[in-house]
Amino acid sequence: MSALLVSNLRVEINGSQILKGVNFDVRANSVTALLGRNGVGKSSTLKAILGIYPHSGKVQLGERDITREQTYRIVRSGIGYIPEDREIFASLTVKENLSLAELDEEPNYELAYSLFPELKERANQRAGTLSGGQQQMVAIARALLNKSEILLVDEPTKGLAPRLVTEVADALARIASNATMLIVEQNLALVRRIAKDIVVMDQGTVVFSGGIENLNDEEFVHRHLGVSVRGH
Protein backbone atom coordinates (compact mmCIF):
# COMPACT_ATOMS: atom_id res chain seq x y z
CA MET A 1 0.00 0.00 0.00
CA SER A 2 1.12 3.56 -0.72
CA ALA A 3 1.57 5.90 2.21
CA LEU A 4 2.06 8.80 -0.18
CA LEU A 5 1.04 9.16 -3.79
CA VAL A 6 2.23 12.09 -5.89
CA SER A 7 0.70 12.57 -9.33
CA ASN A 8 1.53 15.15 -11.96
CA LEU A 9 2.91 17.55 -9.36
CA ARG A 10 3.80 20.90 -10.88
CA VAL A 11 5.39 23.97 -9.36
CA GLU A 12 5.92 27.28 -11.09
CA ILE A 13 7.66 30.19 -9.38
CA ASN A 14 8.07 33.58 -11.05
CA GLY A 15 7.33 32.09 -14.43
CA SER A 16 9.89 29.30 -14.21
CA GLN A 17 8.72 25.70 -14.14
CA ILE A 18 10.46 24.04 -11.23
CA LEU A 19 8.43 20.83 -11.20
CA LYS A 20 7.03 19.70 -14.53
CA GLY A 21 4.74 16.83 -13.57
CA VAL A 22 6.33 14.67 -10.89
CA ASN A 23 4.93 11.16 -10.33
CA PHE A 24 5.92 8.62 -7.68
CA ASP A 25 4.68 6.80 -4.64
CA VAL A 26 6.10 5.84 -1.27
CA ARG A 27 5.32 2.41 0.15
CA ALA A 28 4.09 2.28 3.72
CA ASN A 29 6.56 1.11 6.39
CA SER A 30 9.47 1.49 4.07
CA VAL A 31 12.07 4.06 3.03
CA THR A 32 12.10 5.63 -0.42
CA ALA A 33 15.08 7.74 -1.48
CA LEU A 34 14.54 10.75 -3.74
CA LEU A 35 17.74 11.19 -5.74
CA GLY A 36 19.13 13.41 -8.46
CA ARG A 37 21.80 15.98 -9.16
CA ASN A 38 21.83 19.44 -7.62
CA GLY A 39 18.97 21.71 -8.56
CA VAL A 40 16.71 19.09 -10.17
CA GLY A 41 13.78 19.78 -7.81
CA LYS A 42 14.12 17.38 -4.86
CA SER A 43 13.62 19.96 -2.10
CA SER A 44 10.90 21.66 -4.12
CA THR A 45 9.06 18.34 -4.34
CA LEU A 46 9.05 18.03 -0.55
CA LYS A 47 7.92 21.64 -0.18
CA ALA A 48 5.10 21.14 -2.68
CA ILE A 49 3.93 18.03 -0.81
CA LEU A 50 3.84 20.12 2.37
CA GLY A 51 1.90 22.87 0.62
CA ILE A 52 4.71 25.38 1.18
CA TYR A 53 5.18 25.87 -2.58
CA PRO A 54 2.14 26.64 -4.74
CA HIS A 55 1.46 23.59 -6.85
CA SER A 56 -0.98 21.69 -9.03
CA GLY A 57 -1.45 17.98 -9.52
CA LYS A 58 -2.40 15.60 -6.76
CA VAL A 59 -0.90 14.60 -3.43
CA GLN A 60 -2.50 11.76 -1.51
CA LEU A 61 -1.59 10.83 2.05
CA GLY A 62 -2.90 7.29 2.44
CA GLU A 63 -6.50 7.52 1.30
CA ARG A 64 -6.71 11.24 1.79
CA ASP A 65 -6.33 13.93 -0.87
CA ILE A 66 -4.24 16.69 0.74
CA THR A 67 -3.45 18.59 -2.47
CA ARG A 68 -5.32 21.69 -1.52
CA GLU A 69 -4.94 21.56 2.23
CA GLN A 70 -3.13 24.26 4.13
CA THR A 71 0.32 23.44 5.45
CA TYR A 72 -0.65 23.47 9.13
CA ARG A 73 -3.31 20.88 8.42
CA ILE A 74 -0.95 18.74 6.37
CA VAL A 75 1.60 18.78 9.16
CA ARG A 76 -1.03 17.98 11.77
CA SER A 77 -2.47 15.19 9.69
CA GLY A 78 0.84 13.38 9.82
CA ILE A 79 3.67 14.56 7.61
CA GLY A 80 6.85 15.19 9.59
CA TYR A 81 9.47 17.40 7.93
CA ILE A 82 13.21 17.61 8.52
CA PRO A 83 14.31 20.45 6.25
CA GLU A 84 17.53 20.93 4.34
CA ASP A 85 20.03 23.02 6.33
CA ARG A 86 18.27 22.10 9.59
CA GLU A 87 16.63 25.48 10.21
CA ILE A 88 16.78 25.45 13.97
CA PHE A 89 16.60 28.54 16.19
CA ALA A 90 20.20 29.33 17.12
CA SER A 91 19.41 31.66 20.01
CA LEU A 92 16.99 29.24 21.70
CA THR A 93 18.00 26.29 23.83
CA VAL A 94 17.69 22.71 22.67
CA LYS A 95 14.59 22.21 24.82
CA GLU A 96 13.02 25.46 23.58
CA ASN A 97 13.57 24.35 19.99
CA LEU A 98 11.87 21.06 20.75
CA SER A 99 8.99 22.66 22.67
CA LEU A 100 8.19 24.87 19.70
CA ALA A 101 7.81 21.81 17.52
CA GLU A 102 5.24 20.08 19.73
CA LEU A 103 1.98 19.38 17.91
CA ASP A 104 0.64 16.44 19.89
CA GLU A 105 -0.78 16.62 23.38
CA GLU A 106 1.74 14.03 24.46
CA PRO A 107 4.92 14.69 22.50
CA ASN A 108 7.18 11.66 22.39
CA TYR A 109 10.29 12.94 24.20
CA GLU A 110 11.08 9.38 25.17
CA LEU A 111 11.70 8.43 21.56
CA ALA A 112 13.62 11.62 20.77
CA TYR A 113 15.86 11.35 23.84
CA SER A 114 16.38 7.61 23.49
CA LEU A 115 17.76 8.16 20.00
CA PHE A 116 19.73 11.24 21.00
CA PRO A 117 20.60 11.09 24.73
CA GLU A 118 22.98 13.98 24.14
CA LEU A 119 20.06 16.30 23.56
CA LYS A 120 18.69 15.59 27.00
CA GLU A 121 22.07 16.38 28.53
CA ARG A 122 22.27 19.57 26.51
CA ALA A 123 18.63 20.60 26.97
CA ASN A 124 19.59 24.03 28.31
CA GLN A 125 22.36 24.75 25.84
CA ARG A 126 21.73 27.33 23.13
CA ALA A 127 21.29 25.50 19.86
CA GLY A 128 23.59 27.87 17.99
CA THR A 129 26.53 26.65 20.07
CA LEU A 130 25.98 22.98 19.11
CA SER A 131 28.05 21.20 16.48
CA GLY A 132 26.50 20.63 13.05
CA GLY A 133 25.77 17.03 13.94
CA GLN A 134 24.07 17.97 17.19
CA GLN A 135 22.00 20.59 15.36
CA GLN A 136 20.91 17.90 12.92
CA MET A 137 19.88 15.77 15.89
CA VAL A 138 17.68 18.63 17.11
CA ALA A 139 16.13 18.90 13.66
CA ILE A 140 15.37 15.17 13.59
CA ALA A 141 14.19 15.03 17.21
CA ARG A 142 11.78 17.89 16.50
CA ALA A 143 10.00 15.79 13.88
CA LEU A 144 9.95 12.69 16.08
CA LEU A 145 8.02 14.39 18.89
CA ASN A 146 4.83 14.10 16.89
CA LYS A 147 3.19 10.99 15.53
CA SER A 148 3.46 10.96 11.79
CA GLU A 149 2.42 8.76 8.92
CA ILE A 150 5.46 9.73 6.90
CA LEU A 151 8.69 11.61 7.46
CA LEU A 152 10.13 13.82 4.73
CA VAL A 153 13.87 14.16 5.31
CA ASP A 154 15.99 16.52 3.20
CA GLU A 155 19.75 15.85 3.06
CA PRO A 156 20.26 15.07 6.74
CA THR A 157 24.00 14.37 6.47
CA LYS A 158 24.88 17.35 4.29
CA GLY A 159 27.94 19.20 5.52
CA LEU A 160 28.58 16.91 8.48
CA ALA A 161 31.98 15.57 9.49
CA PRO A 162 32.37 11.83 8.72
CA ARG A 163 32.03 10.73 12.35
CA LEU A 164 28.77 12.65 12.66
CA VAL A 165 27.50 11.27 9.37
CA THR A 166 27.77 7.82 10.95
CA GLU A 167 25.96 8.94 14.08
CA VAL A 168 23.10 10.57 12.18
CA ALA A 169 22.96 7.59 9.80
CA ASP A 170 22.66 5.18 12.74
CA ALA A 171 19.79 7.20 14.17
CA LEU A 172 18.03 7.34 10.80
CA ALA A 173 18.45 3.59 10.39
CA ARG A 174 16.79 3.04 13.75
CA ILE A 175 13.95 5.40 12.90
CA ALA A 176 13.56 3.76 9.49
CA SER A 177 12.99 0.33 10.99
CA ASN A 178 9.69 1.57 12.32
CA ALA A 179 8.53 4.33 10.00
CA THR A 180 7.65 5.42 6.50
CA MET A 181 10.20 7.83 5.09
CA LEU A 182 10.93 9.79 1.95
CA ILE A 183 14.55 10.86 2.14
CA VAL A 184 16.67 13.08 -0.07
CA GLU A 185 20.27 12.01 0.48
CA GLN A 186 23.53 12.24 -1.48
CA ASN A 187 25.32 9.69 0.69
CA LEU A 188 24.64 6.52 -1.26
CA ALA A 189 26.02 4.28 1.47
CA LEU A 190 23.30 5.59 3.77
CA VAL A 191 20.68 5.28 1.03
CA ARG A 192 21.67 1.65 0.42
CA ARG A 193 21.52 0.95 4.12
CA ILE A 194 18.01 2.21 4.76
CA ALA A 195 16.06 2.56 1.48
CA LYS A 196 14.15 -0.11 -0.42
CA ASP A 197 13.04 2.04 -3.33
CA ILE A 198 14.56 4.91 -5.26
CA VAL A 199 13.06 7.72 -7.29
CA VAL A 200 15.45 9.65 -9.52
CA MET A 201 14.67 13.17 -10.69
CA ASP A 202 16.15 15.25 -13.46
CA GLN A 203 15.13 18.77 -14.47
CA GLY A 204 11.82 18.83 -12.64
CA THR A 205 10.56 15.35 -13.52
CA VAL A 206 11.01 11.77 -12.39
CA VAL A 207 13.23 9.84 -14.79
CA PHE A 208 13.40 6.54 -12.90
CA SER A 209 11.55 4.66 -10.14
CA GLY A 210 12.60 1.24 -8.96
CA GLY A 211 14.36 -0.91 -6.40
CA ILE A 212 17.46 -0.04 -4.42
CA GLU A 213 19.42 -2.76 -6.26
CA ASN A 214 19.74 -0.37 -9.20
CA LEU A 215 22.31 1.56 -7.19
CA ASN A 216 24.65 -1.42 -7.51
CA ASP A 217 24.88 -0.72 -11.22
CA GLU A 218 27.80 1.64 -11.69
CA GLU A 219 26.66 2.77 -15.12
CA PHE A 220 23.18 3.57 -13.75
CA VAL A 221 24.62 5.62 -10.89
CA HIS A 222 26.96 7.49 -13.19
CA ARG A 223 24.23 8.24 -15.72
CA HIS A 224 21.64 9.44 -13.22
CA LEU A 225 23.69 10.88 -10.42
CA GLY A 226 26.99 11.65 -12.06
CA VAL A 227 29.07 10.08 -9.34
CA SER A 228 31.14 6.95 -9.09
CA VAL A 229 29.86 4.10 -6.92
CA ARG A 230 33.27 3.61 -5.35
CA GLY A 231 33.42 7.22 -4.19
CA HIS A 232 30.41 6.70 -1.91
Ligand X SMILES: Nc1ncnc2c1ncn2[C@@H]1O[C@H](COP(=O)(O)OP(=O)(O)OP(=O)(O)O)[C@@H](O)[C@H]1O
Q: Under rule CB under 6 A, how many of the chain's residues touch ligand X?
A: 11
Point out which residues pair with 151 in neighbouring strands: 80, 181
Q: Which residues bind Mg ion (CB under 5 A)?
A: 42-43, 84
For 13, 99, 166, the CA distances from 185, given in Å and listed in that order, are: 24, 27, 14
Nearest approach in angstroms of CB 39 to Mg ion is: 8
Give, as ranges, the residues between 26 and 65 that touch ligand X (CB under 6 A). 36, 38-44
Taking CB under 6 A as the criterion, the residue among 13, 161, 189, 207 binding ligand X is 13
CB 201 within 8 A of CB 21: no
**Residue 44 binding: pick among Mg ion, ligand X, none (C-beta 5-8 Å cut-off by kind):** ligand X
93 binds, among Mg ion, ligand X, none (CB under 5 to 8 A by kind): none
Contacted entry of Mg ion, ligand X, none for residue 97, CB cut-off 5 to 8 Å set by kind: none
Element (H, E) at 31: strand 31-35
80 touches, from Mg ion, ligand X, none (C-beta below 5 to 8 Å by class): none
- Of the pair 112, 168, the CB lying nearest ligand X is at 168
**Contact status: 15 vs ligand X (CB under 6 A):** no
The neighbour count for residue 159, using CB atoms within 10 Å, is 12
Q: Which residues pair with 32 in a beta bridge?
A: 182, 197
Tell me the C-alpha to C-alpha distance, in Å, between residue 141 and each of 76, 110, 147, 227.
16, 10, 12, 31
Instruction: Please report whether residue 86 would count as binding ligand X according to CB under 6 A.
Output: no
- Kindly tell me which of 69 and 84 has the beta carbon lying closer to Mg ion: 84
Query: Sign (positive/negative) of CA torsion 47, 87, 104, 115?
Result: positive
Do 32 and 181 meet the contact criterion of CB atoms below 8 Å apart? yes
Which is nearer to ligand X, 79 or 112 (by Cβ)? 79
Give the residue with the Cβ less far from ligand X, 36 or 133: 36
Query: What is the binding site for ligand X (CB under 6 A)?
Result: 13, 18, 36, 38-44, 84
